[in-house]
Homo-oligomer: A and B are copies of this chain.
Amino acid sequence: MATTPLPPAVIANAVARALAEDVGPGDLSLAAVPADQPVAAEMVARAEGVLCGRAFADEVFAQLGGAELGWRATEGEPLAPDQILATLEGPAAVLLTGERTALNFLQTLSGTATATTALVEAVRGTGVRIVDTRKTLPGLRAAQKYAVRVGGGHNHRHGLFDGVLLKENHLAWAGGLEAAVAAAREGVPHTARIQVEVEDLDQYRAALATGVDAVLLDNFSLADLSRAIDERPAGVFLEASGNIGPTNVREVAATGVDAISSGALTRDLASLDLSLRYR
């Protein structure tokens, strides 16, 4: 099955906002060019990476009045430097005004997809899923989480409304682990799993005793992760987190956890270098 797509309204709203902040009351440089002159361009990758964000670029030019985008690379395709991603044809004003906004979406989302793919490749064959977090760029969460999926990763909960992850402070204020899990189980939809974050094996065992559905093992050593795996009951989902990156992700995966989450995927960004080349 392909990556779950974003709803059209999510894309349209993100693009409208981005165009508003770049174009505002109008593109001054259009004073220098004949707005309706038909022009053509190619979008080119200038580095290796994974393409993500085609629908955002399509929407940018559509909102400006329309241009023809002929995509030559598919969403999620690994790109080579100098590879042509798309050809564009349209009025000069549409291409000039939309260029930067379209590239900003593509470079940002392709950057996240590329970083995700790096981790996914590093654990290939282990069956472990690479998952994202809520450490995202404000206003871009749906887009970034889509980029994680395009890059081969999996999403953790989208936000506070679609999943439960009980942390230290929830437990404390709820009157302890058992009370917190019971209250969450009672109070949230049966469609949501209850996950608890733990920081050592004792907490882990206590969490298992409450019958939680999933546990986040934060900053566990490899040895402790292995022990946690050994002790886990059937059906409990185990996620590891804490400074896991390209260099150590495979070791962690080898312990047998179900998922490894990485805040860096969506909190940091190395954009993919792309450019538009007019013909």
Q: Which of these, B30, B190, B239, B267, contacts A239 with CB under 8 Å?
A: B190
CA distance A164 to B32 in the complex (A): 10
Chain A, range 168-203, C-beta contacts under 8 Å to B: 168-170, 172-174, 179-181, 183-184, 186-193, 195
Chain A, range 140-175, C-beta contacts under 8 Å to B: 140-143, 145-146, 154-166, 168-170, 172-174
Task: Enumerate chain B residues within 8 angstroms of A103, measured Cβ to Cβ.
Answer: 135
Task: Enumerate chain B residues within 8 angstroms of A35, measured Cβ to Cβ.
Answer: 2, 5
For the side of the interface on A, what is the size category?
Answer: 35 or more
A26–B8 contact, CB under 8 A? no
List the number of copies, as a whole number.
6
CB distance from A75 to the nearest CB of B (A): 12
CB distance from A20 to the nearest CB of B (A): 6
B191–A156 contact, CB under 8 A? yes
A131–B190 contact, CB under 8 A? yes
Task: Enumerate chain B residues within 8 angstroms of A138, measured Cβ to Cβ.
Answer: 14-15, 17-18, 56, 101, 104-105, 108, 140, 143
CA distance A168 to B6 in the complex (A): 23
B237–A32 contact, CB under 8 A? no
Task: Enumerate chain B residues within 8 angstroms of A27, measured Cβ to Cβ.
Answer: 4, 7, 160-161
CB distance from A219 to the nearest CB of B (A): 12
Task: Enumerate chain B residues within 8 angstroms of A223, measured Cβ to Cβ.
Answer: none
Q: Which of these, B25, B174, B180, B235, contacts A158 with CB under 8 Å?
A: B25
Q: Can you list 19 A-B pairs with a CB-CB distance of less than 8 A?
A: A1-B34, A1-B186, A5-B30, A7-B24, A9-B23, A24-B24, A27-B161, A28-B163, A28-B184, A31-B183, A104-B138, A105-B138, A108-B138, A131-B189, A137-B140, A139-B139, A190-B258, A267-B271, A268-B269
